[in-house]
C-alpha cells in the first residue's frame, strides 16, 4: 500500500503556510517557542515526505500502471507508484547532468623534506569528467608561504590539468599542513580542499630555548635538556659561542649519544640582557646542527 | 485502512541513521575520498574587543610575511613568522617582558600562520600567555574604521 505523502499546506486564518494554534497552545506560548515548534513542524513534514518517497521506492509488489495511478486519488492509491521511482531518479540525477566536474587524482599529497631543502612542491592533477567546461574562479592558500600555480583557468570537458603548490619551508620544523582551497563554477562541487602535508625532519629536541632571570634576582644556574630525535645519534655537543659574554655555559652528558644537559648561569643581573648561547651538535652520520638558546635577564 | 501514529523524533532518527550508511561507506571505501584534515586548536583565540579591555600589558606579534608587515601593522607589533623564525626571534625576545600577554595575528580568519607561530612560541620558548587574534589583521583594520 502506498503511504500518504503527508505534506499538507495549512490554509488557516493565519494565511498561507501559517499554522493555526492548537488547543495545547491556546495560552500564547512565548515567541521563541512558537518559532521552534513551527520549524519542528516543517522539518517533520519534510521528513515524512522523504520517508514516503523512500517507502514507495523500496516497496515490492506489482506497481500500478500510469493509467491506474491517474484513476485513483493519492489518498486511496492502492500500491507503490512506478512513477515515484522515476521521479526520484530524475531528482537525484538532475544536478549531475549538463555540468562540468573536476575529478582529482589526489586531494592530499604527503612529502618529506630533506635537510637543506628550501621548498616543497606538491602536484594535484585533475580531469574535467563532466559534460561542460569548468572554470576555476579562485584558489586560496592557507599561508602566504604557499603559492598555488595554475597555467589556465578554464578546462573543457575531458581536459586535464594540474595545480602546483609550492611551499616555502623557511625555518619550519615538524609536520606542516598547507591547505589549498579551489573554487569552481561547478555547482555540484563548488569548493575542493587540497592538502599538502610536508614533514620537515628535525634532529634535536629540547625542553626550551628561553631561560629567564629577574633583574636583581638570584643568579642560580638553569638547564635545558637536549635530546637526539629517534633515528639520530650524537657524537658530540659543545657550546660554541656566548654573546654577549655575560654568562657561563657548559654541557653535561645524561646519556651518551642521546641526551645532554645545557647549564647556563648569567654573570650579571644588573640590567636587561639578552644572551645568545650557540650549541653545535655533531651526528654520527657527519651532519651538524646548531641550536641557539637565549638567556634573558628582565 | 489504519494509520500508525507517527513520531517526529523517530522519523528524524531514521533519516539521520540512513544518512550514516552512505556516508560511512564513502569514508571507508571511496578511492578518492576527500582529505581529512584536523588541526587541534591548541592556542586560545581572543576577540579584539577583549584585548582592549585587558589591564595586563600586551605584546603584539605579527605572523604575516615581511612585505605585509612593512606596509602596515598593529602599533608596537613585532614581526615573527616561521619563514624567518631564527632571524626574527631576537627581535621578539628584545621586546618580551615577563607578565605580558602575547597576541599573535595573521591576515584574516582564513590564515593559519598565527596559530602556528603561537604554537611554536609556546613549544620553544613558553613565554607565558599566548593568544591568537580572531579575524587577524582584517579585524584590526575594521575596528580602526
Dihedral, A79, A80, A84, A86 alpha carbons, nearest 10: -130
Statement: residue A3 has pLDDT above 50:
no
Judge whether B43 and B131 are in contact, CB under 8 Å: yes
CA distance A153 to A136: 5
Give B112's contacts in chain A (Cβ within 8 Å): 142-143, 179
Check CB contact of B86 with chain A, cutoff 8 Å. yes
Contact residues on chain A for B93, CB-CB shorter than 8 A: 210, 274, 294, 296
Biggest CA–CA distance in chain A, Å, is: 102
Can you tell me the distance from the alpha carbon of B81 to that of A170, in angstroms, rounded to the nearest whole number?
9
Q: What residue in B sits closest to A276 (Cα-Cα)?
A: B90
Contact B126 A51 (CB under 8 A): no
- ipTM > 0.85? no
Q: Which long-range contacts (CB under 8 A, 24 or more apart) does A165-168 make?
A: A165/A109, A165/A121, A165/A122, A165/A123, A165/A124, A165/A141, A165/A194, A165/A196, A166/A119, A166/A120, A166/A121, A167/A119, A167/A120, A167/A121, A167/A122, A167/A143, A167/A196, A167/A198, A168/A118, A168/A119, A168/B83
Q: Which of A119, A124, A135 is nearest to A179 (CA)?
A: A124
Residue A23 has pLDDT above 80, yes or no: no
Measured between CB atoms, which of B1, B86, B113 is closest to A143?
Answer: B113
B134: which 3 cell numbers? Answer: 580572531
Pairing relationship of beta strands A134-141 and A174-184 according to DSSP bridges: antiparallel
| Averaged pLDDT score across all residues of chain A | 80
Report the percentage of chain A scoring pLDDT > 90: 55
pLDDT at A30: 57
B65-70: average pLDDT? 94
A35 touches B: beta carbon within 8 Å:
no
Higher pLDDT, B139 or A189: B139
Q: Are A267 and A247 in contact (CB under 8 A)?
A: yes
Sheet holding A191-200, edge to edge: A108-112, A191-200, A174-184, A134-141, A154-155
Strand partners, B58: B101
Q: Tell me what the pLDDT averaged over chain B comes to.
A: 87
Is the pLDDT confidence value at B42 over 80?
no
Beta strands at B101-105 and B58-62: parallel, antiparallel or unpaired: parallel
pTM for this prediction: 0.65
Higher pLDDT, B27 or A210: A210
Residue B112: pLDDT band (50, 70, 90) is: confident
What tens digit of pLDDT does each residue of A39-76 get? 777 777 777 777 776 766 565 555 444 444 444 444 44
Amino acid at each position: 500500500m502506498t503511504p500518504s505523502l503527508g505534506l499538507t499546506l495549512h490554509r488557516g486564518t493565519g494565511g498561507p503556510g501559517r499554522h493555526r494554534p492548537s488547543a495545547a497552545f491556546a495560552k500564547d506560548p512565548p515567541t521563541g517557542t512558537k518559532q521552534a515548534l513551527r520549524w519542528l513542524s516543517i522539518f517533520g513534514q519534510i521528513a515524512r515526505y522523504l520517508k514516503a518517497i523512500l517507502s514507495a521506492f523500496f516497496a515490492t509488489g506489482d506497481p500500478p500502471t500510469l493509467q491506474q495511478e491517474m484513476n485513483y486519488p493519492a489518498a486511496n492509491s492502492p500500491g507503490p507508484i512506478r512513477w515515484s521511482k522515476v521521479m526520484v531518479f530524475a531528482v537525484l540525477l538532475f544536478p549531475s547532468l549538463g555540468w562540468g566536474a573536476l575529478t582529482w587524482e589526489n586531494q592530499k599529497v604527503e612529502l618529506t623534506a630533506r635537510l637543506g631543502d628550501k621548498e616543497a612542491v606538491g602536484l594535484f592533477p585533475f580531469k574535467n569528467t563532466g559534460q561542460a567546461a569548468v572554470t576555476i574562479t579562485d584558489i586560496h592558500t592557507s599561508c602566504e608561504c604557499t603559492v598555488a600555480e595554475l597555467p589556465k583557468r578554464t578546462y573543457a570537458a575531458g581536459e586535464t590539468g594540474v595545480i602546483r603548490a609550492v611551499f616555502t619551508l623557511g625555518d619550519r620544523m615538524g609536520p606542516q599542513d598547507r591547505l589549498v582551497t579551489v573554487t569552481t563554477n561547478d555547482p555540484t562541487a563548488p569548493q575542493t580542499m587540497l592538502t599538502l602535508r610536508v614533514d620537515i625532519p628535525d634532529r634535536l629536541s629540547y625542553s626550551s630555548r628561553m631561560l629567564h632571570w629577574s633583574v636583581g634576582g638570584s643568579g642560580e644556574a638553569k638547564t635545558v635538556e637536549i635530546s637526539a630525535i629517534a633515528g639520530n645519534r650524537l657524537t658530540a655537543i659543545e657550546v660554541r659561542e656566548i654573546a654577549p659574554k655575560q654568562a657561563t655555559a657548559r654541557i653535561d652528558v645524561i646519556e651518551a649519544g642521546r641526551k645532554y644537559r645545557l647549564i647556563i648561569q648569567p654573570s650579571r643581573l644588573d640590567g636587561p640582557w639578552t644572551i645568545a648561547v650557540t650549541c653545535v651538535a655533531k651526528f654520527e652520520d657527519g651532519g651538524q646542527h646548531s641550536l641557539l638558546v637565549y638567556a634573558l635577564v628582565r | 485502512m489504519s494509520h500508525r501514529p507517527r513520531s517526529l523524533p523517530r522519523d528524524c532518527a531514521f533519516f539521520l541513521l540512513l544518512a550514516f550508511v552512505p556516508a560511512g561507506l564513502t569514508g571507508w571505501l571511496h578511492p578518492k575520498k576527500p582529505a581529512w584534515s584536523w588541526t587541534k586548536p591548541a592556542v586560545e583565540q581572543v576577540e579584539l574587543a577583549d584585548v582592549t579591555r585587558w589591564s595586563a600589558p600586551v605584546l603584539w606579534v605579527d605572523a604575516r610575511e615581511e612585505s605585509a608587515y612593512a606596509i602596515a601593522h598593529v602599533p608596537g607589533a613585532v614581526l615573527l613568522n616561521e619563514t624567518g623564525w631564527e632571524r626574527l626571534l631576537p627581535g621578539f625576545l628584545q621586546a618580551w617582558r615577563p607578565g605580558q600577554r602575547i597576541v599573535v595575528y595573521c591576515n584574516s580568519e582564513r590564515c593559519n600562520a598565527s596559530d602556528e607561530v603561537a604554537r611554536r612560541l609556546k613549544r620553544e620558548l613558553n613565554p607565558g600567555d599566548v593568544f591568537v587574534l580572531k579575524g587577524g589583521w582584517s579585524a584590526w583594520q575594521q575596528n580602526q574604521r
